[in-house]
Amino acid sequence: INIVGEFLVTNAQIGYVITDVNAGYGQQVLTELKQIEHTIKFRLLY
């Protein structure tokens, strides 16, 4: 995955990351991203 930009915020209890990529990826890649350990929510924005 080619990451163009990333925004990360954390505290003692939880963190979140927003990742910007410059290409569309297939369903397999999206499924793998959703399965990253400790992922609570995954959302794709166009």
Does the predicted model carry a pTM greater than 0.75? no
Q: Which residues contact 39 (CB under 8 A, 6 or more apart)?
A: 33
In this structure, is the dihedral angle defined by the CA atoms of residues 34, 36, 37 and 39, taken in order, positive or negative?
negative
Over residues 17-41, the pLDDT tens digits come to 998 888 888 899 889 989 999 898 9
pLDDT surpasses 90 at 44: no
Reduce the secondary structure of the chain to three states and give it as a string: CCEEEEEEEECCCCEEEEEEECCCCCHHHHHHHHCCCCCCCCCCCC
pLDDT surpasses 90 at 10: yes
